[in-house]
Amino acid sequence: MSFESDAGVLAWTDLPVTSASAQGVKQSYTAQLNGNSMLTVYGESDGVGGVQNLGVGIGSTTPWGYFSINPNGIGSNRPLFNIGSSTASQFMVGTSGFVGIGTTSPQRLLHVYRSTDGAPVRFEDANGYCEIDPTSTSWTCTSDRSLKKDITDLSSEDTMTRIAALNAVSFKWNKDGENDPLRYGFIAQDVEAIFPELVITADNGLKSVMYGGFTPFIVEAVKELHLSIQNLESRVTDVEGRLAILELAQQVGSGTTSTSTSLNASSTIDTIAGWLASLGATLQNAVATFVAIVADTVTANFVVVNDITTQTVNAASVYAGALQVGTTTNPGGSGITIVDRVTGQPFCMFIANGVMQSAAGSCDNPNNPANQPGVPGAAEPDPEPEPEPVTETGTTTPDGTEEGAGTGGGTTENGTSTPAIGDTASTTPDGTDGSATTTPALPDPTPEPPAEQGTSTEPVIEPGTTENP
């Protein structure tokens, strides 16, 4: 059969279907080659003079789609469908059902091949796309700022806690066999309780986990962990420095040097020097030099200083060439606190008018009587001088001395004086007078009886006075 030249649009052949044909009756015709059905045009009558379920079949006389290929009907040694040549196929479907793009021998259900470097596969939607690149062993997705809005920093305050709360599991899928390997991942419901933003629920109720969405949270957790490690490293360095100092002090105190420790003498000294340098001090010739030390209390077993100014020094022993307590500009409150051996109570020892005195309590207690105005030892203005006593002439005793005629004192024949009332005096055996001190005036005493011949009248030492030799 041939067609006329320039015949235009032609109908090759036609198979009329009438209403007499019941619905569902097959209506088709097939082109054969050597008895093999190659191409079938297929349809079914609809019972009213029309057709339904139309299709074209290759290797099949009953195609179930608009275009169906049955390899069993035409041989199975060739691809079912191919676009391109046998050496450069753009798209093909093999007899095993594998689809190849860019390859004539697909090895998977979908096999994409690219002869040059680059991502051979891209998945795209309205917001961007992702690509898979086997050369870089990675997949990339669009993340340009121009494609995003409402950008805010991800808080890392509790990210580490949330990551730590995740429970990774091993499992097998329900369709896996006994010999299938274990799978690893998460349970979507568990993840949803911690990271609800990474779980998607489908229309059928099944939940999925966006594993790639963990990346930014993991980054923030690592940053938080890094800060914690830095803090711990700083604290460990400080502890190591302190341990090195204690170890060196122990070695020096025992007179031995340990060789079993990992810190030898050189590294120990270097550690100490570095630690002192961080404090603003220098170590030279085993002597640490500090620009300044500010402390409420300094405690030491032995301290040697040229000059020290501090509030409190707590030491087991103090050796001093010269020790001064108090100052001339502020003598009040100065003293030395000594604990009573019997009672265990503190007493403040101080000097008042050249006489050692004591008062209960420590010297640094402002309520101590020694620190109160009007108490001996307290800082007060100098008292007004007492007036000189008046001496009266008396009679002479039988031993050649004069006896006072009145209540006032008198002068002996050898030039010595007897004290006036209110005065005290002492007479040496050779007749010379001792020094006298003045006490406050007392009421007139009862006159003493006359002294017997050969005896001398000795003055009475009143309480509160002192007698000089």
Provide long-range contacts, Cβ within 8 A and 24+ apart, for 83-91.
none
3-state secondary structure 29-70: EEEEECCEEEEEEEEEECCCCCEEEEEEEECCCCCCCCEEEC
Angular region, 268: left φ>0, alpha ψ -120 to 50, beta rest = alpha
Among 33-37, 96-100, 297-301, which is the least confidently predicted range? 297-301
Domain annotation covers residue 210: yes
pLDDT digits (tens, 9 = 90+) for 174-219: 999 999 999 999 999 999 999 999 999 999 999 999 999 999 999 9
User: Given 74, 99, 130, which residue is the final one in a domain?
Assistant: 74
Domain annotation covers residue 462: no
Residues 305, 369 within the same domain: yes
* Of residues 97 and 55, more confidently modeled: 55
Whether the per-residue pLDDT at 168 is higher than 70: the answer is yes
- Ramachandran angles phi, psi of 162, nearest 5°: -70, -40
pLDDT at 235: 92
Q: Are 267 and 275 in contact (CB under 8 A)?
A: no
Residues 209, 267 within the same domain: no
pLDDT at 123: 92
Mean pLDDT in the chain?
A: 76
Q: Are 166 and 191 in contact (CB under 8 A)?
A: yes
Residue with token string 């896996």? 176
Q: Domain span at residue 49?
A: 26-74
Residue range 220-225: average pLDDT?
90
Residues 309, 264 within the same domain: no
Residue range 58-71: average pLDDT?
88
Residues 164, 214 within the same domain: yes
The letter for the amino acid at 100 is G
Domain annotation covers residue 213: yes
pLDDT at 356: 87
- Ramachandran angles phi, psi of 250, nearest 5°: -65, -40
pLDDT band, very low/low/confident/very high, at 154 (cuts 50, 70, 90)? confident
Among 314, 365, 341, which Cα is nearest to 350's?
Answer: 365
Residue with token string 């599991």? 169
187: helix, strand or coil: coil
Q: Are 123 and 130 in contact (CB under 8 A)?
A: yes
User: Given 171, 191, 218, which residue is the final one in a domain?
Assistant: 218
In the chain, DSSP finds a helix count (H) and a strand count (E) of 5, 24
pLDDT digits (tens, 9 = 90+) for 418-453: 444 444 444 444 444 444 444 445 555 555 555 444
Among 62-66, 180-184, 290-294, 349-353, which is the least confidently predicted range? 290-294
Q: Are 133 and 140 in contact (CB under 8 A)?
A: yes
**Cβ of 412: how many Cβ atoms within 10 Å?**
21
Ranges 7-21, 245-259, 355-369, 406-420, most confident: 7-21
Percent of the chain at pLDDT > 90 equals 31
The total number of residues written for the chain in this structure: 469
pLDDT at 370: 60
- Residue 344 CA to residue 239 CA, distance in Å, equals 41
**Cβ of 221: how many Cβ atoms within 10 Å?**
19
Q: What is the dihedral of CA 392, 397, 401, 406, to 10 degrees?
A: -10
The letter for the amino acid at 43 is G
Residues 305, 254 within the same domain: no
pLDDT at 256: 54
- pTM, rounded to two decimals: 0.43
Tokens matching residue 363? 């010297």
**CA 123 → CA 87, 141, 211, distances in Å?**
27, 9, 17
pLDDT digits (tens, 9 = 90+) for 384-420: 556 665 555 444 444 544 444 444 444 444 444 444 4
Domain annotation covers residue 344: yes
Residues 303, 261 within the same domain: no
Domain annotation covers residue 400: no
- Residue 204 CA to residue 208 CA, distance in Å, equals 11
Number of domains observed in the structure of the chain? 4
pLDDT at 13: 82
Pairing of strands 26-33, 36-45: antiparallel
